Amino acid sequence: MKLKKPLPSNRNFDQIRNHYRIEKAIANRLKHANREERKQIYSTMYDDLFIQVPDHTRLIRREDENLTLRANKLKLAIVNKFLNKSTVFAEFAPGDCRFAIEVAKHVKKVYGIDISDQRSQNCIIPENFKLIVYDGYSLHQIEDNSIDVLFSDNLIEHFHPEDTKLHFELVYRKLKKGGKYIFLTPHALSGPYDISKYFSYEPEGFHLKEWTYTEIMQLITAVNYTKLYQYWYASGYQFKLKLPHIYFEMFEKIFTSLPKRYIQDVAKYFLPSILCVAFK
């Protein structure tokens, strides 16, 4: 098994190979499952992964307070302009919930929405925060037309392709008129960004589909959001630039005409990741 990228400094080849094999196996089950089967897999997939991959970067990051503070600062810079003391905020896939709990300091109410409870045992929960564990499809615990700002960071690439439109429809129902869905996701042309990046030019792990701006635009239009802001955004930097869709469409057309192995490293400068704000 040949590496396509250098190993990270904190993990060896055997650890990366083990992670890849386990995540790919779970992902293959998910890809070939029907909707009812996917509900069951969604509810246990991360628990199964973390048990078998104890050196997973998410677990390591969870124990590093400085990394958590830095990640929260970057995400808060993205959403902050849309927040005030009357805002009802929700985050899909909040993980350990530390970012959602940080946002709770700035808004009226916060919901964390996830397929499992991944909070640490010593997590301090503010009164205006509520975690909702759902099945990945229905969200009756939150009223329709009740959320001002909904946020997700690296979520939609994990959905089965049949489920992505359902997710955006669910978000649309929960948002108030004029509400905003702010989401980040890896760009397909500079990926893959899951563990398969070390062995493949296409996502084979928990990233069931990585997206382009053009595909996102088509999806948002199909669900009848009123407008979409698209940003050039490089993860890890407090810099984002709203650009017209033609910029992203042009570079996507150029890069998709080339073999993936040639454009991957170049595309990351022009299309590093996807950051969008969809308005209801």
Residue 71, classed as helix, strand or coil, is helix
User: What is the pTM (predicted TM-score) of this model?
Assistant: 0.93
For residue 61, the model assigns a pLDDT of 75
Q: How many CB atoms lie within 10 A of CB 188?
A: 25
Per-residue pLDDT of the chain (280 residues; tens, 9 = 90+): 789 889 999 899 999 999 999 999 999 999 999 999 998 898 889 889 999 999 998 887 777 778 888 888 999 999 999 999 999 999 999 988 999 999 999 999 999 999 888 887 778 899 999 999 998 888 999 999 999 999 999 999 999 989 999 999 999 999 999 999 999 999 999 999 999 999 999 999 999 999 999 999 999 999 999 999 999 998 766 678 999 999 999 999 999 888 877 888 888 889 989 999 999 9
Tokens 């991944």 found at:
118
Phi, psi angle pair for 247, to nearest 5°: -60, -50
CA 173 from chain center: how many Å?
20
C-beta of residue 231 within 8 angstroms of C-beta of residue 241: yes
The radius of gyration of the chain from alpha carbons, rounded to an integer in Å, stands at 18
CA distances from residue 135 to 34, 46, 141, 230, 248 in whole angstroms, order as listed: 14, 14, 12, 29, 34
For residue 121, the model assigns a pLDDT of 76
Q: How many CB atoms lie within 10 A of CB 239?
A: 10
For residue 2, the model assigns a pLDDT of 84
C-beta of residue 174 within 8 angstroms of C-beta of residue 90: yes
Residue 118's H or E segment, with its range, is: none
Question: Is cis: bond before 272, omega within 30 of 0?
Answer: no
- CB burial string 2-41: b at 16+ within 10 A, e below: eeeeeeeeebeeebbebbbebbbebbeebeeeeeeebbeb
Give the tokens for residue 104: 């709770």
Tokens 């009357």 found at:
86
Give the tokens for residue 95: 């993980």
